[in-house]
Amino acid sequence: MSSTQSAIEARRIEPPARTAGSAWNKDDWWAVLLGLGLVLAAIALFQYDSSLKWLAVTPARWSTFGQLGADLANNAIRYLAQFAFWAVTFSIITAALGFETRRFLPAFLLLYVASLVIFAIGQWDQANKYNLEPPLVALALGLAVANTTGLPRLFEAGFRVELYIKTGIVLLGATLPLSLMVWAGPIAILQASIVSLATFFVIFYAARWFGLDKRLAATLGVGGAVCGVSAAIAISGAVGGRKGDAPIAITTVVIWAIVMIFALPLVARVLQLPTGVAGAWIGTSEFADAAGIAAAQAYGELAGHVDGIAGTSDQAVWAFSLLKIVGRDVWIGIWAFVLAIVATTRWEVREGGRGTDAGEIWRRFPKFIIGFLAASVLITLSTRGLSLADYNKVAVPTLVNPVKDMRSWAFIFCFLSIGLTTRFRDLAEAGIRPFLAFTAGVVVNVILGFVLSTIVFASYWTNLVR
């Protein structure tokens, strides 16, 4: 019996209490609830001349250990309250997703403490000199632990990459002005569509040329073109792939996504790309949301600290979000729907077989995007009466920045979780042919993404301002 089979058999002994299709066992809706809840709380406090700032504590900038120690000691009660807030909300959510709270809590405590340390390292005034951007430190540390000593499996309940990244993305919506989405959104969709289609067809036909099955070729293709691991699992299910297809595609995507987290910011730094342009390139050419945000945020943090890098940290994350979330992720349902029709009517017509229906588009729609858009609308509406000067003076420090700080926490939890859950030795054997087919798509994707971001549409990505 294969390890895949034995794991499934083991789970069969305990039938789940919930049905698989319920909204309450999907992390997307929980992320929307938590993210929008925080945004609404921030808006309500802002309306009453108060702020979420007290809860959204982060380490201050420091240059000596004495300063850091004093800052942590002064704010100890705020950190405790924040830990309690995250621990309670995420415990409820993970319990609904099927995890035992007694397993989640110790793992989350570890994650929170490690995140605090990483956050503090990033606030050291010499951090940029030594490339200690928190997203990259979190990833590197997590990968080092997972692939050497490792952590007991029972800790895995606390490392929910998708839940943390989706919560962070909903909060990110609150800091992305709606006007910017309307102005640059269509260009983002155009750029992302050009690159997505080119990447898909290159991977698909390269895979077919290497003799791979059409369903695996499609799974690899959309994995490279749209949203990495999420796309691979969605398309494998939509086309009815063989049991081994999704693991092969996931291995390939994970390896390339991890390489790109470090490679794209590094190349952008060497070329001194403005932050908005680099964010757009990362949004077009990175394969997974979590990996891309790590890369975009790491690069954005160089602005103002490294000579020659123009722009702001916001621009890197805004451009990334427009390209990746608005330009690529929203289309996953349509990719799945179309490929499911092709698969069931042309690739594998089985006796008594049943195809798909248009509901597939909604069922697979990444619902957290609704929260991302709603957060942007809510903040825009709640600040619509303010002049730009008042917005910067009043709304930014008391409304926007606290939401941004909570977002930073969610992202650090995510980056550390990526590292801690990526055990290279556990990944499925992908084989050289799928890897080469995917790599052909990577080459086209990276070059095309670079040309469109730095030349064709560069004026949009360098001018992302409120």
Compute and round to an integer the Cα radius of gyration of the chain.
Answer: 22
- Shortest gap between Cβ of 239 and other proteins (angstroms)? 8
Cβ neighbours of residue 425 under 8 Å, at least 6 residues apart?
147
Residue ranges in 280-299 that form contacts with other proteins under rule CB under 8 A = 288, 290-291
Stretch that binds other proteins, among 43-51, 189-197, 200-208, 225-233 (CB under 8 A): 225-233
Give the Å distances, CA to CA, from 274 to 148, 280, 297.
36, 10, 13
Rule CB under 8 A: choose which of 81, 132, 156, 271 binds other proteins.
Answer: 156
β-strand partners of 228: none
Q: How far is the CB of 421 from other proteins (least distance, A)?
A: 4
Of 156 and 205, which has the nearer Cβ to other proteins?
Answer: 156
Residue 273 to residue 279: CA distance in whole angstroms: 9
Distance CA 171, CA 164 (A): 11
Of 27-35, 54-62, 120-128, 273-281, the segment contacting other proteins by CB under 8 A is 27-35
Residues 421-460 that bind other proteins (CB under 8 A): 421-423, 426-428
Q: Which is nearer to other proteins, 139 or 203 (CB)?
A: 139
Nearer to other proteins, 57 or 226 (CB): 226
Q: Does 213 engage in binding with other proteins (CB under 8 A)?
A: no
Q: Which residues contact 34 (CB under 8 A, 6 or more apart)?
A: 89, 93, 167, 170
Q: Is position 98 an interface residue for other proteins (rule: CB under 8 A)?
A: yes
Please list every residue from 33 through 62 that binds other proteins, using CB under 8 A.
none
Q: How far apart are CA 284 and CA 322, in angstroms?
A: 10
Does residue 99 bind other proteins (CB under 8 A)? Answer: yes
Sorted by sequence, the CB contacts under 8 Å of residue 339 that are 6+ apart come out as 218, 222, 235, 238, 239
Residue 367 engages other proteins in binding (rule: CB under 8 A): yes
The correct pick among 242, 305, 393, 466 for binding other proteins (CB under 8 A) is 242
Binding mask 67-96 for other proteins (x = CB under 8 A): ------------------------------
Q: Is the dihedral of CA 275, 280, 284, 287 positive or negative?
A: positive
Check binding of 225 to other proteins (CB under 8 A). Answer: no
Q: Which is nearer to other proteins, 350 or 384 (CB)?
A: 350
Distances in Å between the Cα of 165 and the Cα atoms of 261, 364, 394 are 15, 18, 28
Distance from C-alpha of 209 to C-alpha of 6, rounded to nearest angstrom: 34
> What is the closest distance, in whole angstroms, from the C-beta atom of residue 74 to other proteins in the complex?
37
Q: Which is nearer to other proteins, 311 or 371 (CB)?
A: 371
Specify which residues 124 forms β-bridges with: 62
Does the protein bind other proteins through residue 384 (CB under 8 A)?
A: no
Question: DSSP readout, 380-407?
Answer: HHHTTTS-HHHIIIIIIIIIIHHHHHHH
Q: What HEC string does 308-356 produce?
A: CCCCCHHHHHHHHHHHHHHCCHHHHHHHHHHHHHHHHHHHCCCCCCCCC
Q: How far apart are CA 67 and CA 70, in angstroms?
A: 5
Does 388 help bind other proteins (rule: CB under 8 A)?
A: no
Tell me the CB-side half-sphere exposure of residue 76, using CA atoms within 13 A: 4
Nearer residue to other proteins within complex by CB, 133 or 286: 286
Give the nearer residue to other proteins in terms of CB position, either 178 or 332: 332
Tell me whether residue 412 or residue 458 sits nearer to other proteins (CB atom).
Answer: 412
Query: Residue count at the site for other proteins (CB under 8 A)?
Result: 88
**Residue 74, burial from CB neighbour count under 10 angstroms (0-12, 13-18, 19+):** exposed
383 contributes a contact to other proteins by CB under 8 A: no
326 part of the interface to other proteins, by CB under 8 A: no
Burial of 323 (0-12, 13-18, 19+ CB in 10 A): buried
Nearer to other proteins, 275 or 422 (CB): 422
Among positions 327-346, residues that touch other proteins (CB under 8 A) are 332-333, 336-337, 340-341, 344-345
159 is a contact residue toward other proteins (CB under 8 A): yes
349 binds other proteins (CB under 8 A): yes
Name 83's Cβ contacts closer than 8 Å, sequence gap at least 6.
109, 112
Interface stretch with other proteins, choices 26-34, 52-60, 71-79, 277-285 (CB under 8 A): 26-34
Task: Rule CB under 8 A: choose which of 208, 363, 398, 433 binds other proteins.
Answer: 363
Using rule CB under 8 A, residue 169 touches other proteins? no
Question: Can you tell me the distance from the alpha carbon of 333 to that of 129, in angstroms, rounded to the nearest whole number?
Answer: 43
28 binds other proteins (CB under 8 A): yes
Nearer to other proteins, 439 or 463 (CB): 439
